[in-house]
Amino acid sequence: MSITIHYGLKTKILEAQGGASKDLKASSEWLRGLETHFQRRDDVGIYFFDRIWIPSVGDIMKLIMDEALTSRDIVEYVNKCLTCSKINAEHQKPSGLLQQPKIPKWKWEKITMDLVIKLSKRSSGEAGKDLYQRGCSKKALGTRLDMSTTYHPQIDGQSERTSQTLEDMLRACVIDFGGSWDTHLPLVEFSYNNSYHKSIKCVPFKALYGRKCRSPVVWAEVGESQLIGPEIVQETTKKIMQIKERLKTTWDRQKSYVDKRRKPLEFKVGDQVLLKVSPWKRVVRFDRKGKLASRYVGPFEIVERVGPVAYRRLL
């Protein structure tokens, strides 16, 4: 790193050297031969050991330190420091605007799945629960054991939100009624599918079947309409269009709120990027573990863009 000395600063250094040379009365015994290393060069002042001599008189030293510490070269050096980039905490808005999935055009067109884990073991020995959800009607289904990829760009956040709601409902049932969590699954499923959803402004059961569900508490007529033939298709199409418009309005509102706290960020193929890693317990990275491990690893080269905010990098 080099520091550029401006003409005004150079003049002040020459003036300080001239004043210090007049006042210098040190004996040759005190200098111990150091005077032989002083060299005067034309128009550049006095040098000591091939470096510019800065006298300790006046305020010239303070002026040079201020110039060096506030130099743009220092700022640029720190910004490009690889070690600093790997360990420094991020104090800025999260990168990447909200990317929402496309709204399904019809029922059953898209089914998402999420795996709820780390639950207490039940009689079958399983400690998890699979969750399926239809993207359009938002109706939760009975499920089978399957796996999903966590934190994958293609994962639908709607499923993650439903999992959170499911866990809260199971937690409340276990606290109030006791017993194993799997015994409350039918009750939780029925309650979820017959609860009002603000995003679609109706009950998921009604959005799917076109009528209300008979509750075991109040077993009464729910106003089933006798629709046949083309009338069923027209009524179903009308409700699907209403639900899609409501979802679009809700998602646009969510995106406007989220994007206020985020910033856009895009990369190009060939760019060098750092990968953020979580401080996993008992995992050693680069001879360090826990809090002393690097926050980022890399750099890695981007080889392909696979989505609006997803990239494939070269490891």
pLDDT tens-digit map of 16-45 = 766 666 555 554 454 555 556 666 666 666
Cα torsion angle, 278, 279, 283, 289, sign: positive
Cα torsion angle, 17, 23, 28, 32, sign: negative
In a domain, 2, yes or no: no
- Whether 269 shows a pLDDT value over 80: the answer reads yes
Distance, in Å, from the CA atom of 209 to the CA atom of 204, rounded to the nearest integer, reads: 9
What was the pLDDT predicted at 307? 78
* Domain span at 133: 111-259
In a domain, 98, yes or no: no
Dihedrals phi, psi of 212, to nearest 5 degrees: -75, 160
In a domain, 189, yes or no: yes
Six-digit token pair at 72?
Answer: 């743009």
Whether 307 and 204 map to the same domain: the answer is no
Per the structure, the count of domains in the chain is 3
Whether 247 and 205 map to the same domain: the answer is yes
Q: Read off the pLDDT band of 219 (50, 70, 90).
A: low
Given 237, 259, 281, the domain boundary residue is: 259
Whether 18 and 128 map to the same domain: the answer is no
Please give the radius of gyration of the chain, using alpha carbons only, rounded to the nearest integer: 35
What pTM was computed for the model? 0.48
Burial class (CB in 10 A: 0-12, 13-18, 19+), 223: exposed
Instruction: Give the mean pLDDT of 282-291.
Output: 58
Q: Read off the pLDDT band of 292 (50, 70, 90).
A: confident
In a domain, 203, yes or no: yes
pLDDT > 90 fraction of the chain, expressed in percent and rounded:
0
Whether 158 and 38 map to the same domain: the answer is no
What was the pLDDT predicted at 25? 54
CB 131 within 8 A of CB 115: yes
224-245: string of b/e by CB count within 10 Å (b at 16+)?
A: eeeeeeeeeeeebeebbeebbe
